[in-house]
A and B are shown apart, each in its own frame.
Chain A
């Protein structure tokens, strides 16, 4: 119980600090949003500037501005976009599904491929398959995702015409059809990380006494792997998968641009370019929150995978 309270307090503190940094960074950013808000340069008069500054609370001190923003954000009101004159919450709501679908599909790809290749490498440890997997995934992860994206588009969309060139699609199947190439481009880099962690974690388990004990009483090789080696490797694998997913949720910008998907990443880039501060702040806040949610979920799942963690938590 005490742990849960500490945990929650920690999350609130993280939110306060990070939201303040986000807000203050906007405040310190070059370029005055007032000029953008007024739009037509001919309208810029001292009276008009003062009017706009008052309207958007830009004449208040930083802390007051932060308090106004943070308190309304807490109630779900993230402000109004300078550019679209639309609620930031609504704007995010229209963009989120595409990004979430992209990350979900990409996660399926990198989890299946990463863990699969990791298992393969661990079981063929020190042999040719092992080094081939390492070499191949390292090479693939060193190519930037936009290059892979362009490559996939030119081969599978333009050349073979199997997939659409851009867009996120409507409806479930059409969306998956549209998102396969971008999801692949996003997943490639993560495969190397996940396969490496899987391999390392399994290699450590393979050398343990309980694995040999399981072998010594006649457990078949596949059951030894499933019930002992892989079962005990889930901790590090899960942690890594969660960290990669969390950073993907905040890192779809490039792939969304390459494939013309109007998701959250695209929204962020556009907002930065047009000094649309409320949107930038909201997107950054969303990134912090998703990261916190994902890592907290991992912490909650860990004791289920390894009962020793529960005991350690109780003692501390």
Chain B
């Protein structure tokens, strides 16, 4: 398995209380597989993804086992962690505007991992950055490299972030609400690009979203998360038809639809 999480529990001590954020979460993502993680806000989706790169808050108590491409992150040495962070996995953050350093040029942020962490040659890193910007459909990549984040649109920045995630050729992408901050049209474009690159490079993707339609359409498998527990695992295509767990059904019934239901129209009329 590319990503293997076993019995991951995470709790935070606050004022004498122990807040259990994650409770025995076990999930797996294979190479070439897009796995969805859905659930309401605060259910622990992001915390799970961040724990893969050991980005959980200071003072959190974490137990369980996490492996990425056979390298143990939890428990793991700092060296292994650095290897996973720099080369094996990459995170695509929710808010592209916040995830780029506002005072650095796009090119600098794009190649930072290659140059500063993997000690690649600057010229080579630059060339690779340009190629990846083209791969995510950005025109005039040379000019974009010299610009600052505030000079680019949100959709463009999110594509740059995907390019930045791919600079070190990782095998696993952690997409944390990667398209939630974008408008619908841009969202579709970015998702299409992500899909193309995923298939081209045979990437494993842990796709976190609260959009159930998107999860059903986009993911091979979907995990449903509720209060820090995984309550159900379904094939993406089965999400809307075969859900068995009470919470999943509730979640599905809460999805707003464009076709008005007769009962609600009557009630409001």
Q: Is the CB of A217 within 8 A of B55?
A: no
**Is B254's beta carbon under 8 Å from chain A?**
no
**Is A215's beta carbon under 8 Å from chain B?**
yes
Stretch at the interface among B18-26, B31-39, B89-97, B233-241: B89-97
Q: How far is the CA of A210 from the CA of B104 in the complex (A)?
A: 11
Q: What are 18 A-B contacts with C-beta separation under 8 Å? A: A208-B98, A209-B93, A210-B100, A210-B101, A213-B91, A213-B99, A215-B55, A215-B85, A216-B91, A217-B90, A217-B112, A218-B83, A218-B117, A219-B116, A220-B82, A227-B104, A228-B101, A232-B101
A214 with B98: in contact, given A209-B93, A307-B148 (CB under 8 Å)?
A: no
A227 with B103: in contact, given A308-B150, A311-B150 (CB under 8 Å)?
A: no
Q: How far is the CA of A305 from the CA of B148 in the complex (A)?
A: 12
A223 with B102: in contact, given A213-B93, A307-B148 (CB under 8 Å)?
A: no
- Using A208-B98, A209-B99, A219-B116 as known contacts, list a sample of 5 further A-B pairs with CB atoms less than 8 Å apart, ordered by residue number in A: A210-B102, A214-B112, A218-B87, A219-B113, A232-B102
How near does chain A come to B126, taking the closest CB pair, in angstroms? 17
Q: Is the CB of A223 within 8 A of B116?
A: yes
Chain B, 139-158, contact with A by CB distance < 8 Å: what is the 0/1 string?
00000000010110000000
Chain B residue contacts of A219, Cβ below 8 A: 112-113, 116-117
How near does chain B come to A123, taking the closest CB pair, in angstroms? 12
Chain B residue contacts of A311, Cβ below 8 A: 148, 150-151
Q: How far is the CA of A231 from the CA of B99 in the complex (A)?
A: 15
How near does chain B come to A210, taking the closest CB pair, in angstroms? 4
**Is B67's beta carbon under 8 Å from chain A?**
no
With both beta carbons as reference points, the residue of chain A lying nearest to B82 in the complex is identified as A218
**Residues 202 to 252 of chain A near chain B (Cβ within 8 Å):** 208-210, 212-220, 223, 227-228, 231-232
**Is A90's beta carbon under 8 Å from chain B?**
no
**Residues 177 to 212 of chain B near chain A (Cβ within 8 Å):** none
How near does chain A come to B3, taking the closest CB pair, in angstroms? 15
Chain B residue contacts of A209, Cβ below 8 A: 93, 95, 98-99
Top 4 A-B pairs, shortest CB-CB distance: A218-B86, A218-B85, A209-B98, A217-B113
Q: Is the CB of B55 within 8 A of A308?
A: no
Chain A residue contacts of B10, Cβ below 8 A: none
**Is A51's beta carbon under 8 Å from chain B?**
no
Count, chain A residues at interface, CB 8 A: 22
Chain A residue contacts of B101, Cβ below 8 A: 210, 214, 227-228, 231-232
**Is A306's beta carbon under 8 Å from chain B?**
yes
How near does chain B come to A211, taking the closest CB pair, in angstroms? 8
Q: How far is the CA of A231 from the CA of B151 in the complex (A)?
A: 20
Q: Is the CB of A218 within 8 A of B91?
A: no
With both beta carbons as reference points, the residue of chain B lying nearest to A305 in the complex is identified as B103
How near does chain B come to A109, taking the closest CB pair, in angstroms? 28
- Interface range for B: 20 to 34
Q: How far is the CA of A306 from the CA of B104 in the complex (A)?
A: 9
Chain A residue contacts of B98, Cβ below 8 A: 208-210
Q: Which of A210, A215, A308, A311 has the most CB of B within 10 A?
A: A210
With both beta carbons as reference points, the residue of chain B lying nearest to A215 in the complex is identified as B55
Q: How far is the CA of A216 from the CA of B92 in the complex (A)?
A: 10
Q: How far is the CA of A203 from the CA of B84 in the complex (A)?
A: 27
Q: Is the CB of B150 within 8 A of A307?
A: yes
Chain A residue contacts of B148, Cβ below 8 A: 307-308, 311
Q: How far is the CA of A213 from the CA of B87 in the complex (A)?
A: 14
**Is B53's beta carbon under 8 Å from chain A?**
yes
With both beta carbons as reference points, the residue of chain B lying nearest to A312 in the complex is identified as B150
Q: How far is the CA of A246 from the CA of B100 in the complex (A)?
A: 34
Chain A, 290-316, contact with B by CB distance < 8 Å: what is the 0/1 string?
000000000000000111100100000
How near does chain B come to A227, taking the closest CB pair, in angstroms? 7
Chain B residue contacts of A217, Cβ below 8 A: 85-86, 90-91, 112-113, 117, 168
Chain A residue contacts of B83, Cβ below 8 A: 218
Q: Is the CB of B55 within 8 A of A216?
A: yes
How near does chain B come to A32, taking the closest CB pair, in angstroms? 58
How near does chain B come to A8, taking the closest CB pair, in angstroms? 28
Q: Is the CB of A306 within 8 A of B103?
A: yes
Chain B residue contacts of A306, Cβ below 8 A: 102-103
Chain B residue contacts of A232, Cβ below 8 A: 101-103
Q: How far is the CA of A213 from the CA of B139 in the complex (A)?
A: 25
Q: How far is the CA of A218 from the CA of B79 in the complex (A)?
A: 10
Q: Which of A208, A214, A231 has the most CB of B within 10 A?
A: A214
Chain A residue contacts of B55, Cβ below 8 A: 212, 215-216
With both beta carbons as reference points, the residue of chain A lying nearest to B83 in the complex is identified as A218
Q: How far is the CA of A228 from the CA of B100 in the complex (A)?
A: 10
Q: How far is the CA of A212 from the CA of B101 in the complex (A)?
A: 10
Chain A residue contacts of B102, Cβ below 8 A: 210, 232, 306-308
Q: How far is the CA of A311 from the CA of B147 in the complex (A)?
A: 12
Q: How far is the CA of A3 from the CA of B84 in the complex (A)?
A: 49
**Residues 161 to 212 of chain A near chain B (Cβ within 8 Å):** 208-210, 212
Chain B residue contacts of A216, Cβ below 8 A: 53, 55, 85, 90-91, 93
